[in-house]
Structure formats: C-alpha cells, structure tokens
Chains A and B, each alone.
Chain A
Amino acid sequence: MQNGEQPAVLLVDDEEMVITSIRAFLQLETEYEVIGITVPEEAVRHMETNPVDVVLSDYLMPKMTGLQFLAKAKELQPEAARVLLTGHADKQSAIHAINDVGLFQYLEKPWDNSQLLLVVQAAIERTRLLRTLRTKVMELDEAHSNLKDVQSRLLRAFL
C-alpha cells in the first residue's frame, strides 16, 4: 500500500453490534476504509491478501482469542498496528500477554470514541511511517548496491 492511499482499518469482534457502532463512528468522522469481520479465522484470511493499516480486535472470541488472532496478524503484516479492545473482565490476562504480540494500544469497553479515534489516527501514522522507513531502507540498500557496483566497475577500469 502506498502512503497516499485510503487508510484501511480492520475491526474484529464476534459482536456485530460493536462492529456496527465503531464502523459508523469512523465512517462519520474519517475517510478510512473500515472492514468489520466477526470471525477471527476469516480476518486472518482477509489479511493474507489485503494490506491494512490498523487491526482493532476484541479479546474474548470463540475458537481464537484476540491475542492469538493478533499474533497471526503480526506474522502476516508486522507493520500493521495492533490494538486490543477488551471488556474489564479479561483485562488482567490481556495485560500479561501484551508483550507477546507487540500491542500498539489497549482500549477498554465501553470505549470512548474520541480516545478511539486518537488511537486509530496515531496507529495509522505509525504504520505509514514504518512503511515509509522500509521503502527508504530498501532504496538506500539499492543505492548502496548500485554504488558498490559503480565502485567495482571503476576499480576494474583503473586497475
């Protein structure tokens, strides 16, 4: 994804009503593409072929917890920022595992829309910066390799 493109936010929650509420808010306040998926396995499949900027996931879901899902998301798209949205009841276990998946942020239900927007905006900025950095590093690598090529050709020409 190029940085000029519309940012993509992936919402994963087994509760359709949560997805509808957050999607409505983001659609009203931003120009982001918002994808809502209720089954984590489907969200994994989505990420296999579609780049996203932010993944916002619930913690307690059937079959796969939010942390298991975010670990997969990290494997598939390490630069996409990962945000956990969780109810108070599972806070403790979530905190214990935060480092395992390199969470960008942790939000509690019931969530505050303004805070959620700030987190999503910051997450998109971070993802885009990381992608720009990766592109620049690649360009630098390529320039370096070109330079080495020129250098060796120069050496060959003079020696």
Chain B
Amino acid sequence: MDKPLELKTGTIADAIAALKEKYPGAVKDDSRQGYSGIVVDKSKLVEVATAIRDELGFDYLSSATGVDYFGISDHMEVVYHAYRTSGGAALVFKAQTGRENAEIPSLTPVWPGADFQEREIWDLYGIKFPGHPNLKRILMWEGFAGHPMRKDWKEAYYEEEHKPFGSRWPGGWVHRAEELNVYGHNVTYPADLDLSKLNDASEEALYSGMGLGVNVTQLDDETALKVDRLVVNLGPHHPSTHGVFRMVVTLNGETIELLEPVMGYLHRNHEKIGERNTFLHNMPFTDRLDYIASMSNNLGYALAVEQLLARGARWQPPSYRAEVIRVLMVELTRIVNHYWAIGFFLNDLGAFFTPALYAIAEREKILDFFEATAGSRMMCNYMRFGGVFKDIPERIRGVANLLNDQVRDFNTMDYLTELINDRIPRSIDELDRLLTDSEIIRSRCIGVGYLPPEMAVAYSCAGPLLRASGVPYDVRRAEPYSIYPELDFDVAVRYNGDLYDRYLLRLDEMRESVRILKQVLPRLEATKGQNVFGPAQHTPRVPVGESYGRVENPKGELGYYVVSNGIGEEASKGPQNPWRYHVRAPSFINLTALGAMCKGHKVADVVAILGSIDIVLGETDR
C-alpha cells in the first residue's frame, strides 16, 4: 500500500518535494532556464496525476497544451496546469515524448476536462493519447494533412518563420507569397484520403456512434410502439448556436439521447499565427478571440508576457494608474458581456429580441467610452506590456450625433460617474425586475441543465458555469492580479447549478462589478496625471522562459501559456517572437460539459443550455 503524501505546508515547492520523494526517478524538476514545475515520466503520468489530484488537492485542471521543441531539443511535451479550487498558484507538470510516434497517456480518467484539450493536442501536434475515449480531430477536419502546430509544418502561403518579415520587394520586385506559392499547388492532402468520398469519410466517423436508424426499443411485445431515433444537426448554420457551432443530436421524439459537439468551423490556427507574430503583434490579435470582451483578452495576454519581461533587467512594471484603468476596462467589459449573455439567453428561450435589445442598450454607452479611449468599440487593442496604450481622454467626443442634433461631448469622468453610479445599476435592476419573476422563464430554467459542483470541477468548467454550481472559484480571488487584492467585492456564487442560477449569477456578478467600479472611480480621480505606459516597447526582446497568465474573463478563466524560446543566438538575445502562444479559452473548455448537461432534456432546452454557457466561437475555434 502506498504511503499517502504528507504536506508540511500548502506551497507548490512543498507539493513538488513530496511528489519527488514519493516517485523518485519519475518526477524531476524542470531545470531549464526560465521554466518551473516538474517533468513527469510519461509511464508514471496517470499515477502521478492521480496523486496530484487526490493527495495534493489540485482538483482543477486548468489547461493542458502541447509544445514542440523542434530544433531546440527535438522533443514534444504536454504542459498541464493544475490548481486547487480553494485558491493558490498552479502546479505545473509536463510529460515529454519524442517527435516520432508521439504518445502520452491520456489524463481523461483523472480529469474529464482534459477531453477536448487532448483532442486539440492530437489535432494540432499529433501526439496520441492512449486511453482517450474519443480521440479524433476537433478543430481541423479529417481530411487535413499533418498537424499544423508542429514547427516543421508550413501553411499554404508560407513566407518566413518569424515576423518581421524581410522585404517583399528586394531589388525593386514585389514578391507576393501567393505568387511564389501558387494556389492549388500549395495544398496537400493525406495520402489515404479519397477526395471523391470526402464528406462520407468525415461524417461516417461522426455518425457511427449516434445510432442512426436503429430501433431504440427492441421490445418483444409485438403491439409495443416501435420508435426510431432521429439524428439532427443543430448547426453550424442555426440561429441559436451563437456562430458556427454544431451539435449533432440523437433525438427520441423531442428528447435528447446523445449530443456530440462539433467545432472548428471558425478555426484559423490563431496559435500558429501567434507564433509567427512578434509578441506585441499578438495584442490586437487577442481582441478577436472573445470579441465581446476584447479588453479582458488583452489583459490576460499582457499579464502572461509581463511575467516573462519581469525577469529582464530593463523592466518597469505598470504604474498604479495603468492598473486602475485596466481594472476599469475589464470590469466594464464584464458588464457588457453579461448584458449580452443575458439578452441572448432570453432569445434562446424564444423571446422575440425584446429582452436582448433592452439588455444591450446600456452596452452602447460603455462602448462609446471604449471608442473614445481606445479608438474602437469592440476590437480595442488597448493594453500594452507595462501599461495601457493611452490614458483615458479628457472628454468624450463622438463623430455620430445624438438625437436632436446634439453633439456628443461629455467630460469623461462625469460620464463614467453617471454610467457607474446611475445608469448601469438602474438597467441591471430593470432586467431583474422584468425577467427574474417571469413565470415562463422560471419554468423553463429552474432545474434544467443541472451541473453538479464535483462535475463542474472535473470538467474544468470555469466562470459563471462553475460558480452557479456552487464552487466559489474566481481567479480574481483565487490567484489575484492587478489591483484586485485591495478592492472590496464578493465572489458571486449560486448553488443550484441550473439555467436559472446561471442567469441570476450573471446578474450578481454585474452588481459586484458595479461595486468594484465604484471603488475604481476615486482611484482614477486620485491618480490623474500619472504615466500609464512605461518605456516604449514596440518589439520587446523577451527573456527565455515560460509563463501562464490567467484572468477571470466574463466567460471564465482565460489563460495564456506563453513560451519565449529560440534556436541558437536568438535565445540568448531574448526572442522577439513567442515560441509557443497557447490560449486556454473558457468557451472551448466549458463546452466539454455540454453533452452531459443536455442528456434527457428537450430540443428547446439544448439551445437554452448552450446559451447559458455563453460561448463565443471566435474563442472556441481559435
């Protein structure tokens, strides 16, 4: 019988020491410069992971992702970030494998939340996960040749490994990538793919498990009613899938028996593009992930890169005012997002756009402020490493006029004060008053889409989905960043884990955000005149290492796993481009629980459950 691990303190170092003691030889420190955590021998991975979960209490697998070290040390590794739901820092552990026939045992038996993430790693890196119940491509299609995140894989219009690219007109000629790589000759298909049977090939694999055309009730009684299942594709073109998301459902009448999410229709290999970009290039690119909440996306990425930059000599951390502005922006974004989520959740319940339009009316005011500050309403591209791009303006002047030809011209602080103290709370109360006690909403929502807390944690659900199930886990409190430690707010939590509680939780969170914003306003007033952006860092050289920056995005925990590394001289100078840029997208991982939540409910409920998860396809498909 194994001796249980003993922990003197709850620190990560202590946990690592205990693991090393229990599994000598299998667990080693990750001694590379700038790296942290442990490297676990892959043959012992499941065992060690179980110990990490059960004995050390790291019950929440936040992120699992692959990295290809082709050219540096010629191996691939899978990086796991496990957290305790009671809070604290991550236990980072890695498993390494060779690049040929790459295989790492699946951790789905330990954390079911690894399901989609391991499929993604298989899809993009070609690492096989023996033990995974359903290992097939998730973002790319079945007829795709190769695994695109591998460093030796080149895209169709490949130009150069890294930006900034060399001149496209050396010697006066313009060389366009599409002329050098002519269309039609730049695409490869897998050797065994029969192009004429393209659709059959991919769809057969999908439908094979769905029980198409099979009698459900094989009753001996001749008089019994024979029932057939019906397989229906909800999406990718469907008004309520919030984009191009697809659910293949097996129906028994109107009741869902099986649900299989299919995604990747909006996949653009964000991460590969991110590795070609310089560090700063990725900042506007993060806007496009969760396009409702671009400010928060910015912040997560800035935090991840700042962790790396902080190891360098010339680093200046963001000023206090910059942090205050960041929190202002992020909390406004949370309110915007929850307005949106509640409004369109009601649409999914079948309301005819009225609640949605009521909900997003106030959003316009917030976006006006974003526009005046960042220059854009949705794609804000506002944060920078070491601050924000620009201070908030003195006055908000609009190009568009208000009603009655009034020109839009407000003092920014007055505008914000009115917005935060008056308008937003009023409209939240209005939503509450109009929706919360509606009999139809209550009967449609209460008890539907139930997600028990232990399952929510196991499936790595995050954000409102997790907290509505009674797990008070919020990154702003669990592992605080920016100025959150000094702000007074509660982590909103509800205990029933159904649609109604998710809706109520979003209202609660909006109220908490207003509470935060009310504390931000005086700080904003007090720090007037402070610099918001340190030394100009347009193409920073980032010290070698890895970092995981995570923020509590409106939709859940958004994490960026960034590795700065390079080959040869590049590494010693500090690379300009991320070696690895991974996005732990909350929408993507929250979907893992969708199938389980929908089982046994009606078609109408599936749409509502999906709406209550609140996904954005820009982030899900990346």
Q: Are A and B bound to each other?
A: no
Interface residues of B (CB under 8 A from A): none
